[in-house]
């Protein structure tokens, strides 16, 4: 079992990974800023990002029927290990944004 100090080190590495993420506006849409999706949407959250071609796309992610319990350090560590979050680099994929939401102190906009 990991100690609290080891879990804090993982959280620090996670924050460093997302440090370069910049929120910007594009034609009335806020890019790189996750929002909660309305009921009936395919995911719990969505975010608008630019893909490699420069097109703005919507990425849906998260299970609408499950609760995020990222405030518990042990659960956060387990999620990040299970989903291999250290290797998620592509902002156009749902896995990247799920890992982004599971960092310590993440906010969830309504």
Mean pLDDT of the chain: 82
Report the distance separating Cα 50 and Cα 22, nearest Å: 12
The whole model's pTM is what? 0.74
Instruction: Report how far apart, in Å, the C-alpha atoms of 41 and of each of 7, 35, 55, 61, 110 are.
Output: 33, 12, 22, 10, 14
Q: What is the pLDDT of residues 15-48, one digit of tens each?
A: 565 555 667 777 778 899 999 998 888 889 999 9
């Amino acid at each position: 079992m990991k100690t609290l100090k080891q879990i804090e080190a993982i959280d620090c590495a996670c924050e460093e990974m997302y440090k370069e993420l910049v929120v910007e506006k594009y034609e009335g849409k806020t890019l790189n800023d996750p929002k909660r999706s309305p009921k009936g949407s395919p995911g719990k959250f969505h975010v608008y990002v630019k893909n490699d071609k420069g097109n703005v796309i919507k990425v849906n992610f998260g299970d609408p029927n499950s609760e995020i319990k990222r405030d518990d350090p042990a659960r956060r560590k387990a999620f990040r290990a299970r989903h291999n979050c250290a290797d998620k680099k592509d902002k156009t994929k749902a896995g990247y944004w799920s890992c982004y939401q599971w960092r310590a102190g993440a906010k969830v906009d309504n």
